[in-house]
Amino acid sequence: MSAPAATYGWETLAPPPQGGRRLLDHGEKVQVSAKVRTSGHYKGWLFVKIWSEKQGWSHLAFDPEHSLVGQGYGSREKESYADLRRVLAFKNIKAARADLS
């Protein structure tokens, strides 16, 4: 007798009931938001901010070809963003000079 096929649960992240730009899960234990550079030398660069109750914060930087160029981590949002900026500065990338919060 064969085993039944595995099923996987999914939840679509949505804005909080009061509105806003971030997306969260129903239990508010995970959230994500994103911004894209719309002008200048780094036009098209995408910055994603992720928070989870267990892991804290991550900031991700993607180039226009969707390659992950840098990632920062931290227990606080500010630490994570500073970590990302250090990674990008090491690579001489100035895409994160504008405020991303």
pLDDT at 96: 79
CA 84 to chain centre: 11
β-pairing, 56-62 vs 30-36, is unpaired
Q: How far is CA 85 from CA 18, 35, 99, in A?
A: 31, 15, 11
Per-residue pLDDT of the chain (101 residues; tens, 9 = 90+): 566 666 677 788 888 888 888 999 989 999 999 999 998 889 999 999 999 999 999 999 999 999 999 999 999 999 999 999 999 999 999 887 654 43
H/E run at residue 89 = helix 77-90
Two structure tokens written together for 18: 């009061």
pLDDT at 75: 97
Name the percent of the chain in helix, strand, coil, to the closest 5.
Answer: 15, 30, 55
